[in-house]
């Protein structure tokens, strides 16, 4: 168990992906996170990274949905405890109350280090993300 929650965010650069780090993410508002992540990513992309901009993450996210990828199978960056793969969101036919309707759907995949966590905890975590995405006011209230 770590004292800090530092989230790594995979960022595309010429020549590949890098992981920038949002430090103390659990202590920040969504507004702060929304402001800090692009600032750090752009600084590192421009070759002006500062100490702490990379490394030391405890969990990473990798969003390849913007490239038209529907599903991602991410690989854990050590010493992370897990990595979340985020696919693209797109309209799909689903059944709701016995009717076929169009809904925006996306696939999330989670790879966890079983020395730190297990599949049951991972499933609970994904369930909580699903709940928050389906009821986003829970993120701001």
Which of 14, 26, 97, 118 is labelled catalytic? 118
Concerning whether 118 is annotated as a catalytic residue, the answer is yes
Concerning whether 80 is annotated as a catalytic residue, the answer is no
Kind of pairing between the strands at 90-96 and 99-105: antiparallel
Residue 57: closest CA among 109, 108, 20, 18: 20
**Residue written as tokens 């702490």?**
52
Residue 110, SS3? strand
Residue 65: closest CA among 45, 83, 82, 85: 85
Cα-to-chain-centroid distance, residue 27: 17
Q: Which residues are catalytic?
A: 114, 118
């Amino acid at each position: 168990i770590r004292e800090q929650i530092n989230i790594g965010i995979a960022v595309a650069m010429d020549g590949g992906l890098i992981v920038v780090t949002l430090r103390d993410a659990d202590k920040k508002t969504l507004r702060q996170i929304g402001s800090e992540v692009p600032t750090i990513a752009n600084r590192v992309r421009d070759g002006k990274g500062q100490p702490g901009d990379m490394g030391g993450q405890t969990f990473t996210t990798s969003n390849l949905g913007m490239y038209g990828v529907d599903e991602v199978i991410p690989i854990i960056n050590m010493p992370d405890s897990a990595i979340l793969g985020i696919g693209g969101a797109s309209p799909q036919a689903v059944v709701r109350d016995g009717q076929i309707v169009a809904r925006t759907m996306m696939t999330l995949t989670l790879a966890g280090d079983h020395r730190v966590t297990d599949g049951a905890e991972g499933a609970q975590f994904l369930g909580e993300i699903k709940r928050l995405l389906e009821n986003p006011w829970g993120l701001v209230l």
